[in-house]
Amino acid sequence: MGTLVTIEIVIPGETGDAPAHHALDRAFGWFREIENRCTRFDPSSELMQLAARPGEAVVASPMLFEAIRFALLVAEETGGAFDPTAGHLMMARGFDREHRSGATIHLGIQPAPDATWRDIKLDPHRRTITLGRPLIPDLGAVAKGLAIDTAAQELKPFGNFAIDAGGDLYMAGANRLDEPWTVGIRHPRRQDELLESLRISDQAVCTSGDYERRGADGRSHILDPRTGNVADSVASATVIAPVAMLADALATAAFVLGPVEGIRLLDRMGVAGIIVTPDLARYETGTLPHAA
Amino acid sequence: MNSPSDCLDRLYSLKMAKGGSNRKVANGLLAAGAAAVMAVYAAGYERTQSAAEQLEAQSAVRRPVARSAAVAAAPSTPVVEPREQRETPREVAVLAHPSEPAPVITAPASTPAKTDITPAAPVAPPAGPTTPEPVIPAPAPAPAAIVAAPTPAPAAPASQAAAPAAAVYKDGTYKGWGTCRHGDIEAQVVIEGGRIASASISQCLTRYSCDVIGRLPPQVTQRQSAEVDYVTGATESANAFYYAVLGALGKAK
């Protein structure tokens, strides 16, 4: 993931903060553990060990299994606009650097160029994952969302807290002023402007934007897995949902689908969202929690 | 009882059936995500069994409140001194609202936090605990009379509490974690010749020093079980140590 994670817990003034510190340790622990298992930038991660054994039914940890299972559900639901097997496409375009350390990774895996999410088979009873063809899953969106969600479970007893994982958020309860958290959505083109301000309580907010990491060719990194081309009809897609893993995956899918199909997807999923095109046209679901 | 995995499998079948409106499937994806999170959270990872999960497990293995003088299950063992009536252990995961006054002990200097912990303006605490998840069952009320039948505590049968039991463990060194409102305690138990040779506190992560329960580890060896004394003023830490020892002994079977 390579993201900076910040957590704020709001506790009443007379309460000791030791339990909060313990909960924070455990919450950060979830981020570390999920990253260790699900990263494709470390050949010894559980994910990459799976990728090294195409054709075999590999027993997976609950963490990896549920992440991939959910990713496949979203892939099916979005017709492949979201596809966790697009990793090799990203690598071909130069996204083979772990962006914290800058280290390049070389793998002994030759991914099949036309592999898709349909090439992954799961057995829930034995909890095995089988990669039908050599491929490199990319769990970036799903893993980060899952980490946010499990960290949020650790903090649930506190009621009021905020998790910020590199811009993907989960806000619970109320802020220190006892009001719903205010969340701004970054403007995709004007750095010191906000696109929108939202009031958020017990929801995740995740944004996919074309202003994030750029590849070696200077273009944004979000590809349409169905074509392999850059998805360029959207500048920024934001999703608000009770589960961060869902918000993260749908933000990516909506970005690829474009403004009209994207909003249609979010409506169908029962979540709120806003999509902005490169020429700054805005598309919203009817349910956006605008700040007053 | 449905596990999150069961719910997920049923959602899979729901999707495959594909009858009915899209809305069913749409809500299915949100529910599938929530179920996946709970499955991962419940599974935990290495020692970081989350506090909530541990507390739930601990309340399922509740310490017997009253120890029977007539230990019907083990007639050959000497009579245990009857325990004083004591309050039921309160294994409640309400971390933000202490329900009892804290003991007067100097709090350790706080370590630098990675984050802001922002005290809010004082707010009147709610009447009861804010609902944590998972829901912790309320502790059983203390029976007034001594119960002759063994209490239903699967990991601590009445016979085991009476005297060095014939419980046989596998030789080795085992560790377990117990948790309480003040933090976590790791206990280490060494088994030799099938019996408990020693017990110690290998990690004391409670905000109060573990000196206060210092006399408990030797009791594990003396009594050949986790059934150590309660400690007034340190109920929580004593319970955490008890569960940590239980956890360690559980691995030695």
Q: For A223-242, how does the pLDDT look when each residue is reduced to its tens digit (9 = 90+)?
A: 898 988 888 999 999 999 99
- Does B131 contact chain A (CB < 8 Å)? no
A79 in a structural domain: no
pLDDT at residue A289, as a whole number: 86
What average pLDDT does the structure give for chain B?
Answer: 60
Give this complex's ipTM. 0.91
Q: Are A242 and B94 a contacting pair at CB < 8 A? A: no
Residue B119 lies in a domain: no
In chain B, the residue whose alpha carbon lies closest to the alpha carbon of A142 is: B33
Q: Is B19 on the interface with A (CB under 8 A)?
A: no
Residue A292 has a pLDDT of 60
Residue A71 distance to chain B (closest CA, Å): 10
Residue with tokens 């340190």: B234
Confidence at residue B9, expressed as pLDDT on a 0 to 100 scale: 55
Nearest to A250 by CA among A73, A25, A90, A56: A73
Task: Say yes or no for a CB contact (<8 Å) between A19 and B181.
Answer: yes
Beta carbons of B48 and A24 less than 8 Å apart: no
Q: Which of B3, B95, B179, B236 to substitute to test the interface with A, most A CBs within 10 Å?
A: B95
Q: In CATH, what number is assigned to the domain containing residue A263?
A: 3.10.520.10
pLDDT value at residue B127: 40
Task: Determine the pLDDT at residue A68.
Answer: 97
Residue A215 has pLDDT above 80, yes or no: no
**Cβ pair A63:B118 closer than 8 A:** no
Q: Where does the pLDDT of residue A112 fall: very low under 50, low under 70, confident under 90, or very high at 90 and above?
A: confident
Section B27-43 average pLDDT: 93
Instruction: Kindly report the nearest CA distance between residue B10 and chain A, in angstroms.
Output: 11
B208 and B145 in a common domain: yes
Among the listed residues A147, A267, A287, A273, the one whose alpha carbon sits nearest the alpha carbon of residue A206: A273
Token pair listed for A131: 């990669």
Q: Which residues pair with B200 in a beta bridge?
A: B188
Identity of the residue numbered A39: T
Query: Helix/strand/coil (H, E, C) string of B8-76?
Result: HHHHHHHHHHCCCCHHHHHHHHHHHHHHHHHHHHHHCCCCCCCHHHHHHHHHHCCCCCCCCCCCCCCCC
Cβ atoms B162, B140 nearer than 8 A: no
Instruction: Based on the fold, state whether residues B12 and B64 are members of the same structural domain.
Output: no
Q: What is the pLDDT of residue A163?
A: 96
Residues B67 and B179 in one domain: yes
pLDDT digit string, tens, across residues A30-79: 999 999 999 988 889 999 999 999 999 999 999 999 999 999 999 999 99
Number of domains in chain B: 2
Contacts of A243 in chain B (CB under 8 A): 30, 33-34, 37
pLDDT value at B65 more than 60 = no
pLDDT value at position B112?
36
Task: List the single residue in A18, A28, A66 with the smallest CB-CB distance to B36.
Answer: A66
pLDDT band for A3, please (50, 70, 90 cuts).
Answer: confident
Those residues whose C-beta lies under 8 Å from the C-beta of residue B202, and which sit 6 or more positions away, are B175, B186, B187, B188
**DSSP notation for B186-200:** EEEEEEETTEEEEEE
The answer on pLDDT for A139 being more than 50 is yes
Chain A residues whose CB is inside 8 A of the B51 CB are 22-23, 26, 154
pLDDT, tens digit (0-9, with 9 covering 90-100), for A170-210: 999 999 999 999 999 989 888 888 999 999 999 999 999 88
Cβ contact B51–A26 (<8 Å): yes
Beta-carbon count within 10 A of B108 CB: 11
Residue A216 lies in a domain: yes
- What B228-235 contacts at long range (C-beta under 8 Å, 24+ apart), as own/partner pairs, is B230/B83, B230/B86, B233/B103, B234/B103, B234/B208, B235/B87, B235/B89, B235/B90
Rounded CA-CA distance B6/B12 in Å is 10
Chain A within 8 Å of B132 (Cβ-Cβ)? yes
Tell me the pLDDT band of B4, cut-offs 50, 70 and 90. Answer: low
Say if strands B117-120 and A5-12 run parallel, antiparallel, or are unpaired: parallel
pLDDT given for residue A87 in this prediction: 63
| Across A50-64, A157-171, B32-46, B76-90, least confident range | B76-90
Tell me if B115 is assigned to some domain.
no
Measured CA to CA in angstroms, residue B152 lies from A50, A157, A230 at distances of 44, 29, 63
Which residues in chain B have Cβ-Cβ distances shorter than 8 Å to A153? 37-38, 41, 50, 52, 133
Look at residues B56, B60, B23, B55 and name the one whose alpha carbon lies nearest to residue B183: B55
CB contact under 8 A, B40 and A124: no
List of chain B residues whose C-beta atoms are within 8 Å of the C-beta of residue A14: 122
A147 with A165: CB under 8 angstroms? yes
Are A12 and B45 in contact (CB < 8 Å)? no
Residues B29 and B145 in one domain: no
A12: how many CB neighbours lie within 10 A of its CB? 16
Question: What are the angstrom distances between the C-alpha of B84 and each of A94, A99, B68, B72, B162?
Answer: 71, 62, 11, 19, 15
A283 to chain B, closest Cα gap in Å: 20
SS3 content of chain B, % helix, strand, coil (to 5): 30, 15, 55
In-domain check, residue A13: no
State pLDDT tens for residues A11-41: 887 777 888 888 999 999 999 999 999 998 8
Assess if residue A291 is contained within a domain: no
Residue written as token pair 């900076």: A4
Report residue B74's pLDDT band, with 50, 70 and 90 as the boundaries: very low
Query: B121 vs chain A: nearest CA distance in angstroms?
Result: 6
B187: β partners: B176, B201
Residues of B in contact with A61 (CB under 8 A): 43
Give me the amino acid identity at A163.
Answer: I
| Domains: count for chain A | 1
Asked if residue B9 and residue B73 are part of one domain, the reply reads no
Whose tokens are 């074509």? That residue is A227
Q: Is the confidence at residue A2, as pLDDT, over 70?
A: no
% chain B with pLDDT above 90? 19
Give the per-residue pLDDT at B140. 39
Q: How far apart are CA B174 and CA B242, in angstroms?
A: 14
Interface A–B counts its CB contacts (< 8 A) at 169
Least confident of A8-12, A142-146, B159-163: B159-163
Neighbours of A67 (CB within 10 A): 27
Which two tokens mark A72?
């496949």
Same domain, yes or no, for B39 and B66?
Answer: no
The verdict on B21 and B95 lying in the same domain is: no
Residue of A nearest to B26 (CA): A269
Q: Could you give phi then psi for residue A21, rounded to 5 degrees?
A: -60, -40
Residue B22, pLDDT score = 52
* b/e code B192-229 from CB counts within 10 Å (16+ = b): eeebbeebebbbbbbbbebebbeebbebbbebbbbbbe
Residue A270 lies in a domain: yes
- B36 and A245 within 8 Å at the Cβ level: the answer is yes
In a domain, B125, yes or no: no
What does the pLDDT average to over A272-286? 95
pLDDT digits over A71-108, tens only? 999 999 999 999 999 765 655 555 555 555 555 555 56
Which tokens hold the place of A18? 């030791």
Q: To the nearest whole angstrom, how far is the Cα of B193 from the nearest Cα of chain A? A: 35
Q: Least CB-CB distance to A7: which of B93, B115, B121?
A: B115
Distance CA A90, CA A83 (A): 12
Q: Which residues of A touch B183 (CB under 8 A)?
A: 18-19, 22
Write out the residue range of the structural domain in which residue A242 sits.
174-284
- CA distances (Å), A133 to each of A50, A73, A256, A292, B192, in order? 12, 19, 24, 51, 50
Residue B8, domain extent: 4-43
Give the residue with greater pLDDT, A136 vs B129. A136
| B170, B65: one domain | yes
Q: What is the pLDDT of residue B6?
A: 53
Question: Among all residues of chain B, which has the CA nearest to that of A246?
Answer: B33
From the CA of A189, how many Å to the nearest CA of chain B? 30
Looking at the domain assignment, is residue B176 inside a domain? Answer: yes
**Pair B27, B138 in one domain:** no
pLDDT, residue A157, reads 92
Same domain, B35 and B154: no
Q: Quick one: which of B155, B161, B196 has its CA closest to B178?
A: B155
- List CB contacts (< 8 A) between B27 and chain A: 270
Cis peptide before B134 (omega within 30 of 0): yes
pLDDT number for residue A113: 79
In a domain, A136, yes or no: no
Confidence at residue A222, expressed as pLDDT on a 0 to 100 scale:
76
Residue contact B40–A62, C-beta within 8 A: yes
pLDDT for A110 equals 77
pLDDT at A89: 64
Of A14, A29, A156, the CB nearest to B48: A29
Q: Are residues B16 and B58 in the same domain?
A: no
- Is the per-residue pLDDT at B93 higher than 60? no
Does B154 lie in the same domain as B97?
yes
Query: What is the distance in angstroms between the Cα of A63 and the nearest Cα belonging to chain B?
Result: 5
